[in-house]
A and B are shown apart, each in its own frame.
Chain A
Amino acid sequence: MSRNFKILLLLAAIGIMLIIRRFAIGLGASTALSDGYPLGLWIALDVVVGTALACGGYAVALLVYIFNRGQYHPLVRPAILTSALGYSMAGLSVAIDLGRPWNMWKIPLYFRNWNLNSALLEVALCIMAYVCVLWIELTPAMLKPSRITRFLDRILVWIIALGMLLPTMHQSSLGSLMLLAGPKLHPLWNTPLLPLLFLITCLAMGYAMVVFESAISRRHTALLAVLQKIAVFAGIAFVALRLIDLALRSRLSIAMHLDLYGIIFWIEIVLWLMPAMIANPFRGAMCIALAGGLYRFDTFLVAFQPGPGWHYFPSVSEMFISIGLIALEIAIYIALVKRFPILGGMPAQEHSRVAQAFQPAPRHQETT
């Protein structure tokens, strides 16, 4: 075990202990959450930003399976693994954040009580389904060939298609969540385009994360430049949409007041445009991830205005639970990629029909 891995495990252990403490002493005592800010770090960061960063699988799947860029196929598995872990950690964060988690099973099962107007219901059901889909997509990598894998193989197309449908739905619904906050959301962030903007940001951040992983694992680096371009393009589209939308609804003047909100708004815009000027794909990806993360975090926390007298900054305990969960996620990722064939692209001996169908021709395959 390397030193870094040990540090990750230590952080994860601290996080887990703090989680136990949270359940022992209650939310009020372990977090800085309040009636003014009922949603805090765990929702804004772990769930909203975290799931976007975990959209790598979605983003690459679109590229490979819909736009038929088979040369990116080796990136699919590591992206799906990151997605699976990221979404699982997000789900765990929700379970920790809920005040009455023992009722959680009622969400998928009490379908007669479903409030079909609720964007949160859509998000919850979709994410629950998507986590299952992601782990199912990983089973070919982790299980030996058997009856199960052969069955999965036959329906894999439909699972993969589901793996592209579900994020489209719930990432846009995540945007609608704050749309319901209505007048409590600052006018620079409050727009009917929120679902679309959240979808664009999750795709951009997904691609950015794929660039990250590949850069860190030093694999398939030749492909990164194009991914980087996609992310940059998404960023420019995002900025254009936002500014045009604000202008059309006569709200652009608000951004000219350089109060806290105005300044943060422009920081977001600048961060989105910077990658166009950065050659280093790693730094460019960092910028995109930061820009998207900041935008989504702002929508849920900074631009949320409960009224005078309320303040929120996450407690140390909250922060170290988030850090612990992220460290756990990274540690598991490292352990799994060492154990299972994830990073190297699909090995030739796999008889997956899907794999064969989407495998690029040998002359395009990269030698590492």
Chain B
Amino acid sequence: MSTIAEQLRRSGASRRDFLTFCGKLMVAAPAGLAITSFLSPEAVAATIGRARRPSVIWLHMQDCTGCTETLLRTSQPDLATLLFDVISLDYHETVMAASGYDAEHALADAMKENDGKYILVVEGSIPTGESGTYLKIAGRNGIDMLRDVAAHSAAVVAMGSCASWGGIPSSNINPTGATGVDSIIKSKPVVNLPGCPPNPYVLLATILEFAATGKPPKLDSLGRPKFAYDRVIHDHCPRRAHFDAGRFAKEFGDSGHRSGWCLYQLGCKGPVTHAPCSTRHFNEVVDCWPIGIGSPCVGCTEKDVAFTVPIFKTADIIHPVPPNTYPPIAAEHKGISPVATGVAGIVGGALIGAGLLASRNFPSKEE
């Protein structure tokens, strides 16, 4: 396996395109990633360039292929560059040329060649009902295929909500027993990237971090990389000012909606949804994300929210961190003027003094 830099040179990919890609990574992962904690795209490029081009095997389980589609909607780098230069996408049922028995051979070869070194990306939920027979790929149960491929991987990335916790197929009544990767794979590090779909740059950053440092990015208690999932949308939303000021869209198409006001009253789940969408938009178009186009967030990354809580039901605010413009229970008001106190003291003292002086002239007995 050559390094990424060698591969880029060999393929003649434009350095400018690669630098643009590194710049995008810096935006996608501004904090918490070793590969992007530099001050310039050039420095990031150098770090990534030194990394060995990682081998990636991509499995589809019970999915809609949306997570692949999100990857396809990148243009910088374009998919070709991505597939061939930055990562080595050795097995991907949607985009690979092979089919049928050739595809199975491709999988076996890829596994043998990079045994213990490839990164397994899983898209789609894994059905566990009826011993897993709801999903059969090349005659095998999906769950068995997953276990098999994961056993020889270096790490597993669960791409999308389905792979992370079961997604749409797992919603009530969950007829297939759909579940996420980390309830099946326990022996390998699993990084969850929930989202329906998640942002592709989050995936790329995660894979490259792994390739460059050999370790996954720092994860939270649900296995999600902190650099992308440590905040709720509400805390980073461009429409937050409208929320704070009490400006809400009340119906789709009303004047508030057309003015771009907060969608909280339309059921936006931003306050309870951990996701990077508010700052990293989709399709490389600014404001191309649900709230940006006026559609309330449905909480697609969160198991307790997405496809469970009705879309138009208003969300709790789990961490109310109000701005400083809330008055306290008892505000401090204007204090006491020292000048006035001084004057009062002088006047009072003078009166009492005068009184005492005058009283001295007054004998206690009758004149």
Binding site for B on A (CB under 8 A): 32, 34, 36, 215-216, 218, 221-222, 225, 279-283, 286, 290, 307-316, 319, 323
How many Å lie between the Cα of A280 and that of B347 in the bound state? 24
Given A34-B334, A280-B364, A323-B347, A313-B359 contact (CB < 8 Å): no
What residues of chain A lie closer than 8 Å to B336, measured between beta carbons? 311-313
27 A-B contacts, Cβ less than 8 Å apart? A34-B334, A221-B366, A221-B367, A280-B362, A280-B363, A282-B355, A282-B358, A283-B356, A286-B359, A308-B330, A309-B331, A309-B332, A311-B333, A311-B335, A313-B336, A313-B340, A313-B344, A314-B340, A314-B344, A315-B340, A316-B339, A316-B340, A316-B343, A319-B340, A319-B343, A319-B344, A323-B347
What residues of chain A lie closer than 8 Å to B340, measured between beta carbons? 32, 313-316, 319
Check: B337 CB closer than 8 A to any chain A CB: yes
The answer to whether A309 and B330 touch across the interface, beta carbons within 8 angstroms, is yes
**How extensive is the interface on chain B, given as a class?**
20 to 34
Check: B341 CB closer than 8 A to any chain A CB: yes
What residues of chain A lie closer than 8 Å to B344, measured between beta carbons? 313-314, 319
What residues of chain A lie closer than 8 Å to B341, measured between beta carbons? 313
How many Å lie between the Cα of A119 and that of B363 in the bound state? 43
What residues of chain B lie closer than 8 Å to A316, measured between beta carbons? 337, 339-340, 343
The answer to whether B362 and A32 touch across the interface, beta carbons within 8 angstroms, is no
How many Å lie between the Cα of A311 and that of B337 in the bound state? 10
Given A32-B340, A316-B340, A319-B340, A283-B359 contact (CB < 8 Å): yes
What residues of chain A lie closer than 8 Å to B333, measured between beta carbons? 34, 36, 309-311
Number of A-B contacts (CB under 8 A): 63
SS of B interface (majority)? loop
How many Å lie between the Cα of A54 and that of B324 in the bound state? 52
How many Å lie between the Cα of A221 and that of B331 in the bound state? 55
What residues of chain B lie closer than 8 Å to A34, measured between beta carbons? 333-334
What residues of chain B lie closer than 8 Å to A221, measured between beta carbons? 366-367
How many Å lie between the Cα of A73 and that of B337 in the bound state? 47
Chain A nearest CB from B301 CB (Å) reads: 43
Known A-B contacts: A280-B364, A283-B356. Give 13 more (CB < 8 A). A32-B337, A32-B340, A215-B362, A218-B367, A280-B362, A281-B362, A286-B356, A286-B359, A309-B330, A309-B331, A313-B337, A313-B341, A314-B344
- Mask: chain B, 341-367; 1 = CB below 8 Å from A; 0 = not: 101100100001001101100111011
What residues of chain A lie closer than 8 Å to B352, measured between beta carbons? 286, 290
What residues of chain B lie closer than 8 Å to A279, measured between beta carbons? 364
What residues of chain B lie closer than 8 Å to A32, measured between beta carbons? 334, 337, 340
How many Å lie between the Cα of A281 and that of B331 in the bound state? 48
The answer to whether B334 and A311 touch across the interface, beta carbons within 8 angstroms, is yes
Chain B nearest CB from A213 CB (Å) reads: 12
Among all A-B residue pairs, the 6 with the closest Cβ atoms: A282-B359, A313-B336, A308-B330, A279-B364, A282-B362, A309-B330
Closest to B359 in A: A282
Instruction: Mark out the residues of chain B between 300 and 342 whose CB falls within 8 Å of any chain A CB in the assembled complex.
Output: 330-337, 339-341
How many Å lie between the Cα of A308 and that of B352 in the bound state? 32
The answer to whether B335 and A281 touch across the interface, beta carbons within 8 angstroms, is no
How many Å lie between the Cα of A316 and that of B343 in the bound state? 7
Chain A nearest CB from B195 CB (Å) reads: 47
Chain A nearest CB from B311 CB (Å) reads: 44
Closest to A315 in B: B340
Closest to A212 in B: B355
Chain A nearest CB from B344 CB (Å) reads: 6
Given A216-B358, A286-B355, A323-B347, A307-B330 contact (CB < 8 Å): yes
How many Å lie between the Cα of A312 and that of B336 in the bound state? 6
How many Å lie between the Cα of A193 and that of B340 in the bound state? 34
Chain A nearest CB from B54 CB (Å) reads: 61
Chain A nearest CB from B360 CB (Å) reads: 9
Closest to A223 in B: B366
What residues of chain A lie closer than 8 Å to B355, measured between beta carbons? 282-283, 286
What residues of chain B lie closer than 8 Å to A225, measured between beta carbons? 366
Closest to A286 in B: B355
Closest to B341 in A: A313
Chain B nearest CB from A315 CB (Å) reads: 6
Q: Which of B330, B337, B367 contacts A315 (CB 8 A)?
A: B337
How many Å lie between the Cα of A309 and that of B329 in the bound state? 10
Closest to B367 in A: A221
